[in-house]
Amino acid sequence: MQGRVAVLREYGGEFELREYPVPEVEPGAILVKLTRAGVCGSDLHIWRGEMKDVYGAPPKDLTFGHEMCGRVERLGAGVTTDSNGQPLREGDRITFAYFFPCGRCPVCLQDELGSCPRKARANRVAGTPPYFNNAYGDYYYLRPNHYVYRLPDEISDDIATPVNCALSQVLYGLHRAGLRFGQTAVIQGAGGLGLNAVAVAKDMGADKVIAIDQIPGRLELARAFGADHALSLTELPRPEDRIQAVMDLTGGFGADVVADVVGYPQVIPEGLRMLRSGGCYLEIGNIAPGNMFSYDATALVRGNTRLVATSNYSPWAIPQALAFIRRNLQRLPFERIVSHTFPLERITDAFQQAEWLQREGDPLRISRAALAM
Ligand SMILES: [Zn+2]
Ligand SMILES: [Zn+2]
């Protein structure tokens, strides 16, 4: 049996589909037949070549993708349940973490699995056994010591796709930032991460959530996801105006938590100035090396500012994310987060469209693309 893997040979270029043999499943592992894979903001950074310090220039038969869901194709010996203890059978729909904390280093033992410095990540060179190491292909080889969760029937594949990245990421980030009941949060950026952040912040009991973006369709969607205020970069073109707007909405004190999910470091100084004294700045968006910003360190000290940066998440975020979707399924338009779905053979189109949408916007639709296998 063979399966396809999408391979990128040139940054910004076209993918080619290659076939590899579907591997035997070792004890403790799971072979997943993928049904969906998302084009996450970080995948666009990789495709553009902004991560070439990490993945090499030129790319060497690069395969990637990490946001996904699928069905159990084959269970390795000894795997009988998901991580919640629910029975797991071949054919069951699942979501799972795409990174693998070691579970035994001093950092893991501080209950910080998401920060594990030894966590195993996917090999990104096509043709490396067991071949299906990333999301853009027909299968995914879920190695032993994974975190896997059965998807409830009412959560469709389209809604489940961002669970193991965007949603778990912001849920964990806001938890680490210490957002509490009754507080005010500003979310900089209303893309896939930002919309989830707005909804999670409301679900955590935030009294007021303020979203900021430049695309009218995203601002409208941010409101649909529970934002109390949506600030437009077009209407408030200067950082000063946006900072003032946040101050006006917070009685002149500033927000308790400000989160960056934009992905460009220019927004950080602006966001820091939106914080109340003693507030927390949550940095999630910047993942490409070399994203520098400068800020007055004294202002941070005098403001008693807390800075929290978050990459990946502790795996408990996944079942919490599923529970969050379930209790909000009738209330929030989760089906609108992924706006464009392409078959795997059109993966190049998916990237080109996602790129165009991120840059130009589409007033009617939001910009997350996904692939269907
Ligand atoms: Zn991602
Ligand atoms: Zn560890």
Report CA(39)–ligand 1 centroid distance (Å).
8
Report CA(110)–ligand 2 centroid distance (Å).
9
pLDDT tens-digit series, residues 152-206:
999 999 999 999 999 999 999 999 999 999 999 999 999 889 999 999 999 999 9
CA–CA separation, 212 and 233 (whole Å): 7
In the chain, what is the straight-line distance between the N-terminal and C-terminal CA atoms, in Å?
Answer: 16
- What pLDDT does 55 receive? 87
Eight-class DSSP state of 49: T
- What is the pTM (predicted TM-score) of this model? 0.95
Enumerate residue ranges in the chain where pLDDT < 50.
none
Burial readout 233-249 (b: 16 or more C-beta within 10 A, e: otherwise): eeebeebeebbebbbeb
Report CA(101)–ligand 2 centroid distance (Å).
5
Report CA(109)–ligand 2 centroid distance (Å).
7
Report CA(222)–ligand 1 centroid distance (Å).
19
Residues paired with 36 in a beta bridge: 69, 372
Ligand nearest to the CA of 102: 2
Report CA(128)–ligand 2 centroid distance (Å).
24
Report CA(162)–ligand 1 centroid distance (Å).
8
Report CA(314)–ligand 2 centroid distance (Å).
11
